[in-house]
Amino acid sequence: MPRDVIAALASPAGESAIAVVRAGGEGCLALVEKIFSLEEGRLAGMRRALAQCPGTTPGTEALLISWPSGRSFTGEEMVEIMCPGSMRVARGVLVSLQKAGARLARPGEFTRRAFLNGRLSALQVVALASIWSGDSPEDGAEGSTGLEQAAGSLERAMEMLHETLEAVMEFPDELAGEAPAMEEVVRTALGEADRFSETASRSECPLRVFIAGPVNAGKSTLFNILAGREMAVVSPEEGTTRDGASCRTIIAGRPVEMFDTPGRRRNGEEAPSRVEREAVRISSGLIGPDDLLLWMSPGGRVEPDRDLSERAGWTIEVSSFSDVVRGDGLNLSARTGEGLEALRGAVASARPDGLVCSAALGIRDGIARAAESIDAGEFPQASEEIAEALAVLSSVMDRGASIGLAVERALARMCVGK
């Protein structure tokens, strides 16, 4: 179905040698021809053209590179406009595009269109988000090919196992003594399933965890413990946390992005300083329906802030200072370590896995069940288990697959030019 022409700055904001403005959607070639005063059809097909940037002095030219429908990253008509790296010039190009009928792209919208048009698989979307988020050099290097490579290796291992099972059922007498070889094929498939699951977990968007609660509830102390290093200032003085610290870490094997937030005053009392009030307001606005709220209060005596718990997708109530006072919910003591492992487990299991991780776990379970059937001599049942696991993997790898939670999270991490 026809979609709007969208446009966005595709290069980092700021002064540079070259700025890139990207436009895409049905009709974008004609629209760009119009604002750059090119003859009709000049950009039809895969073409290049030099043209004067709209609203600039003579000599301020842009290189236009066009792709027709079906040949671009998104699968739609697309033009990349490479202009001088002045933000004034790049903004002028964007404004001209908008005046001509384009609208500004939403975050990740170009990638979303590529996915919906069958140009990218779910695995590729998640991998691209891993690269563009720049979590670490290792994550970026692996994100580009690691997920697809792991999926391909797993698919080949399962196909080998499936073919071996079919051969055993067709030629039972000839292959009666091949049990050790079968065991090796099963071990290989299980190993590849584990590797795919680990790679998928690293590529998934991290769970965002907001530590909130009344002042002096031990929030910053818990943040430092979970981060594994001292990042947040800890003080008995109320209102110490203003611009809360944040970091990415691993909790019980799950990637997590944590935020230490300013403490809330008790009984609806307003913070004494404007800066503290503003810090509370800003941190509250960051929490969304895909995030986890860790609400801490001494002995669990303060109920979660209603606004925060309604904003968050999940809430875990923590009774802090359990070595002094006990409460309902999860009792936690930073001094003795009580409840820390239980809290890590609760955080790791708070949000359901996304599309890719869920598929990886299901595939691994299917291979394990097939191994049990093989041990019991039930080869037809084992073959059926492997066939079903292959179908699950195929659905995740398929281009044009329905958007799952992992894809939505990946798209949400992207900027408007991606």
List pLDDT tens digits, range 12-57. Answer: 777 788 999 999 999 999 999 999 999 999 999 889 999 999 888 8
Examine the pLDDT at 281 and tell me if it is beyond 50.
yes
344, 252 Cβ separation under 8 angstroms: yes
286 & 162 share domain: no
Mean pLDDT score across all residues of the chain: 80
Of the three residues 348, 373, 404, the one that is the final residue of a domain is 348
Do 200 and 224 belong to one domain? no
Q: What is the pLDDT of residues 343-396, one digit of tens each?
A: 888 888 776 656 677 778 788 889 999 999 988 888 889 999 999 898 888 877
Q: Is the pLDDT of residue 242 over 60?
A: no
Structural domain containing residue 398: 127-204+354-412
Q: Are 138 and 180 in contact (CB under 8 A)?
A: no
* Boundary (domain end) residue, out of 74, 105, 136: 105
Residues 133 and 56 in one domain: no
**218 or 131, greater pLDDT:** 218
Whether 279 and 175 share a structural domain: no
Q: Within this chain, do residues 242 and 343 fall inside the same structural domain, yes or no?
A: yes
Which tokens go with 332? Answer: 């936690």
| Rounded-to-integer distance, Cα 45 and Cα 51, Å | 17
> Is residue 115 in a domain?
no
Is 121 among the domain residues?
A: no
Give the per-residue pLDDT at 105: 86
- Do 212 and 296 fall within a single domain? yes
The number of helix segments (H) and strand segments (E) in the chain equals 13, 12
Residue of 415, 5, 370 whose CA lies nearest to 166: 370
CATH number, domain containing residue 22: 3.30.1360.120
331 and 358 co-located in one domain: no
- On whether both 141 and 219 belong to a single domain, the answer is no
Do 160 and 143 fall into the same domain? Answer: yes
Residue 417: what pLDDT? 64
Average confidence (pLDDT) over 84-88: 86
pLDDT score at 205: 66
Quick one: pLDDT at residue 143? Answer: 45
Give the whole-angstrom CA distance, residue 335 versus residue 323. Answer: 8
pLDDT tens digits, one per residue of 129-167: 665 655 443 444 444 456 778 888 898 999 899 988 888
Residue 239 pLDDT > 60, yes or no? no
Instruction: Tally Cβ neighbours within 10 Å of residue 387.
Output: 15
Phi, psi of 180 (to 5 degrees): -60, -40
Q: Same domain, yes or no, for 266 and 306?
A: yes
Residue 324's nearest CA partner among 297, 298, 296, 304 is 298
**Residue 417 counted as domain residue:** no
Instruction: Check whether residue 188 and residue 132 sit in a common domain.
Output: yes
Would 295 be classed as within a structural domain? yes
Q: Are 416 and 8 in contact (CB under 8 A)?
A: yes
Nearest to 41 by CA among 77, 73, 5: 77
Q: What is the CATH number of the domain that holds 270?
A: 3.40.50.300
Q: Which of 46-55, 226-235, 272-281 has the highest mean pLDDT?
A: 46-55
Pairing of strands 103-104, 6-9: parallel
Q: Has residue 238 got a pLDDT over 60?
A: no
> Which residues, including other chains, have CB under 8 Å from residue 395's CB and lie 6 or more apart?
359, 401
Angle formed at CA 121 by CA 117 and CA 123, multiple of 5 degrees = 155
210: Cα within 13 Å, side-chain hemisphere: 27
Residue 111 domain-assigned? no
Domain boundary, last residue among 327, 348, 369? 348
Side-by-side strand order, sheet with 246-251: 246-251, 254-260, 207-212, 292-298, 314-320, 330-331
Distance CA 152, CA 131 (A): 20
pLDDT of residue 39: 92
Q: What does DSSP assign to residue 38? A: P
201-211 tens-digit pLDDT: 666 667 889 98
Residue 225 resides in a domain: yes
Residues 93 and 71 in one domain: yes
* pLDDT for residue 244: 65
- Distance between CA 409 and CA 413 in Å, rounded? 7
The whole-number pLDDT of residue 2 equals 57
Q: How confident is the model at residue 86 (pLDDT cuts 50, 70, 90)?
A: confident
328 φ, ψ (degrees, to nearest 5)? -75, 170
User: Which of 103, 106, 93, 97 has its CA nearest to residue 19?
Assistant: 93
- 394-409: average pLDDT: 56
79 pLDDT above the threshold of 90: yes
75-89, 103-117, 145-159, 226-240 — which one is most confidently predicted on average?
75-89
| pLDDT for res 31 | 94
User: What is the rounded distance in angstroms from the CA atom of residue 185 to the CA atom of residue 162?
Assistant: 10
How many angstroms separate the CA atoms of 232 and 249, rounded?
15
pTM of the model: 0.46
Q: Between β-strands 18-24 and 78-84, what pairing exists: parallel, antiparallel or unpaired? A: antiparallel
Taking the C-alpha atoms of residue 198 and residue 253, their distance in angstroms, rounded to an integer, is: 9
Answer yes or no: is pLDDT of 402 > 70: no
Query: Model confidence over 89-113: pLDDT tens digits?
Result: 888 898 899 999 998 888 788 888 8
What pLDDT is recorded for position 355?
62
Domains held by the chain: number: 3
Is 79 inside a domain boundary? yes
**What confidence tens digit (pLDDT) does each residue in 305-314 have?**
888 888 888 8
CATH number at residue 374: 1.20.120
pLDDT at 125: 75
Does pLDDT of 304 surpass 90?
no
pLDDT of residue 400: 43
Residue 341 pLDDT more than 70? yes
CB 4 within 8 A of CB 25: yes
The pLDDT, as a whole number, for residue 51 is 92
Sheet holding 78-84, edge to edge: 48-52, 61-67, 78-84, 18-24, 6-9, 103-104
| 325 inside domain | yes
